[in-house]
């Protein structure tokens, strides 16, 4: 991970110091910010490979900061919080986060989550075309964009990897655990709410009517399936 830059956003200076020491020892380049406002300013001036973002901060809270970051950036975001209820996880993921870590956490867990957030799906160009046509919708995996008519909608790296894997295995139900372990990594498998949120986000970006999906389908008690019409 040498050369990978991480922005740590937390209002507690001791937590920022501890995380800096732990991350620098692993070869990461670390910057920090003490508020959401400072984080947004840092992101306007610099490029980062990942953001670690605390929820409970004065001023702009972590969730609102996450939403604002996601409006202009595809950088992976891991939310850090003391809250552990499923609704809190879903709220964080809905705000645009890629992952969620509950405080207190150990350094090995945090490092594993960082590796998962930075991890790209092992699929290669040999496995799927770099574009996908779904009726009038065009998906470019290379540029991570969905085109709906004249409108282009960006995809985050994790959204792109999830959609690409479903496209490789199109018209076939893929179990939750396999999707999680392929896209997030082998330590995942029970975080079904992650898939629910990411699939809903993809539907909003690529389905003509997200409430009545035509392509990205839920397979009850199994997982998800991408229906790709046959080429004519």
Rg for the chain, CA atoms, rounded: 18
pLDDT band at 232 (very low <50, low <70, confident <90, very high): low
Which of 81, 111, 110, 116 is CA-nearest to residue 95? 81
> Is the predicted pLDDT of residue 126 greater than 60, yes or no?
no
Give the pLDDT of residue 2.
60
Q: How is 214-228 classified by DSSP, letter by letter?
A: SSEEEETTTEEEE--
135/111 same-domain check: no
Q: What pTM value is reported for the model?
A: 0.86
- Does 176 map to a domain? yes
**pLDDT tier for residue 86 given thresholds of 50, 70 and 90:** confident
Q: What pLDDT does 213 receive?
A: 95
Mark whether 89 and 135 lie in a shared domain. Answer: no
Stretch 45-57: mean pLDDT: 94
Report the alpha-carbon distance of residue 224 to residue 166 in Å, rounded. 8
Q: What are phi and psi of 223, to 5 degrees?
A: 175, -125
Q: Is residue 200 part of a domain?
A: yes
Query: What average pLDDT score do residues 219-232 get?
Result: 89
108 lies in the same domain as 147? no
> What is the count of structural domains for the chain?
2
94 lies in the same domain as 161? no
State which of 86, 118, 150 marks the end of a domain: 118
Instruction: Give the pLDDT of residue 3.
Output: 84
Among 99, 113, 85, 148, smallest CA distance to 22 is for 113
Q: Which two tokens stand for residue 83?
A: 């809250």
Query: 202 and 149 share a domain?
Result: yes
Range of the structural domain that residue 189 is part of:
131-226
Does 125 score more than 80 pLDDT? no
């Amino acid at each position: 991970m040498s050369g990978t830059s991480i922005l740590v956003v937390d209002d507690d200076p001791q937590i920022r110091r501890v995380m800096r020491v732990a991350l620098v020892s692993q070869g990461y380049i670390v910057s920090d910010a003490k508020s959401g406002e400072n984080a947004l300013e840092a992101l306007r001036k610099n490029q980062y490979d990942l953001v670690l973002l605390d929820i409970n901060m004065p001023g702009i809270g972590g969730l609102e900061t996450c939403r604002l970051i996601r409006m202009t950036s595809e950088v992976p975001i891991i939310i850090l919080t003391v809250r552990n209820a499923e609704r809190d996880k879903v709220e964080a993921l809905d705000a645009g986060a890629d992952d969620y870590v509950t405080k207190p956490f150990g350094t090995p867990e945090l490092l594993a989550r960082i590796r998962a957030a930075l991890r790209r799906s092992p699929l290669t160009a040999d496995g799927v075309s770099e574009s996908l046509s779904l009726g009038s919708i065009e998906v470019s995996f290379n540029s991570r964009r969905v085109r709906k008519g004249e409108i282009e909608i960006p995809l985050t790296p994790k959204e792109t990897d999830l959609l690409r894997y479903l496209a490789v295995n199109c018209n076939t139900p893929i179990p939750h655990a396999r999707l999680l372990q392929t896209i997030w990594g082998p330590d995942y498998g029970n975080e079904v709410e992650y898939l629910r949120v990411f699939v809903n986000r993809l539907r909003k970006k690529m389905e003509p009517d997200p409430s009545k999906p035509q392509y990205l389908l839920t397979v009850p008690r199994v997982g998800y399936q991408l229906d790709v019409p046959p080429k004519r």
